Structure 1
Amino acid sequence: MSHCAVHGCKTSMYNKPPGVSLHPCPGSSEMRSRWLLLLRNKCPMLDWSSSKLCSKHFENKYFDNQRNLKSTAIPTIFPNPSQSVKAIEGGPVLKTKMDRHLSKMTQAQLVADIKNTTVRLREPLNLSEFLTNDLQTRSDAPLEAKLWLLIKKQDHLNNRLMETIVKNKANAELAENSVEEVSKSKKDLEKNIETYKYIVKCLQEKQATLEEQIEILTAVESR
């Protein structure tokens, strides 16, 4: 491909500004996944084997001294300022206004908001009539039925997750108790060992005393 694959970018092999270069897509699956996350909705015709991106979409830190693109480079600069993203290592890139607002809400706030919304919505009385045997909505089902099926599935999933969390918490407590019991048993064992050492020492002292008494008796009898 002779031009930059980013939508709206006019750079090509024939009209490159001075200092601008075209670079092929990465070959590793890991880097392709990172590029795909950043280029989503920005490269409608992205082809890993032939597409290229120009250097205008990469920060300076991704180039070496010879202006070669590093293998760890990711595109973060785009023509439309509203589309520019800041790569977040190990996390998703928030691009829409909704994503940014949702990311600011806590889990408790999200759950409360969902519950308040579902309370205001009325579940169709004949919801089951619009469901198939594999728990899908029929083609003639109204939008309310489709929405409520999704709500019920999500609610069921949330309940499963909560059960898993509670179970994992209980297992963690059991494991912690087991560790405490093992630690206590270890301390008791160490205490018993010290006791046994003391008993052995006492027996050794008594044995020494007994041997002395035997020597004395032997000496007396020999006279």
Structure 2
Amino acid sequence: MAYCCVPLCKSDEKKKPAGLSFHELPAGADARVRWLAAIRRDKWWPNTTSSYTKVCSRHFKEEDFIESKRRRLNNGTVPSIFEEYPPHLQPKSTPARNTASIDKRTIDKYKMELKKLHEDTPVADVSNIKERAKEKERAALFLIDQIENFKMKRPSWSEETTRRCVVLRRLSTRAYEHIRGEMLLKLPCRMTLSNYLGTTSGETGLSKLSEARLRVEAESLTVPQSRICSLIVDETKIREKLQYNKQQDCFVGHADVSLEQHGGDLTLANSLLCFLITGLSTSYRIPVAYYFIMGLTGPQLHKLLIFVLE
């Protein structure tokens, strides 16, 4: 527990009142000698390795402090207030300083105030956000998109923001459109998200679109631990039905893998087998492949699983 090393002062950190702060003796030899000369504690030299010997703020003037997030002293400040000392130990009044010295201190004080004002302005906050955006921090990238597109009639979105908005709209279309409609946030429209996703060929298995998506996701996961994931296999029952896909000019609904084929005829699928990866340390789920199936043996499932893993 730190205490005030000034004689007759009983301040300590355990019982300190509001507004009281403690300050370590300077590390520099010259400054430390000036502090010790002002304190006037006979036959005493502070331990340089101890962090408990400090001087409380009661022994400094208000102009000696720099008010910021953490209260600090101006450079060259020396304790000068010792109310408990008897008159013969009180510091002697110094002669008036020359005008040049007063002007220099005034200028330095104004410089510190200007610096503090600059740090507290929104410009400094935006600069900080831009620096964090360069480091690919997701929240910073999203905020930069919000600022840059706020007044634009044709906004331009970063890939990170577009990808996140695809997921957000998938979670709740009504909530997403409400946020856009009320202008709570500037978000990409449905057409922008559709253009980003592109058109799917409807092919089953491990498609080229899935491979491209996996590559993009892998590049965005810069931390090695975030790439650790597990492969989940999920089977969903579907109705046996053959349907014509006008876009691809083909019929869909036949089983890609089935327990047996009857005389070479195609079998209608009654289940959909999906493979997706999910992050163990990071929250993400990415579809990998899917197959229409009609019954599956253990060896067939094992062979299919090995193929997807490879």
Q: TM-score, normalised by structure 2?
A: 0.26
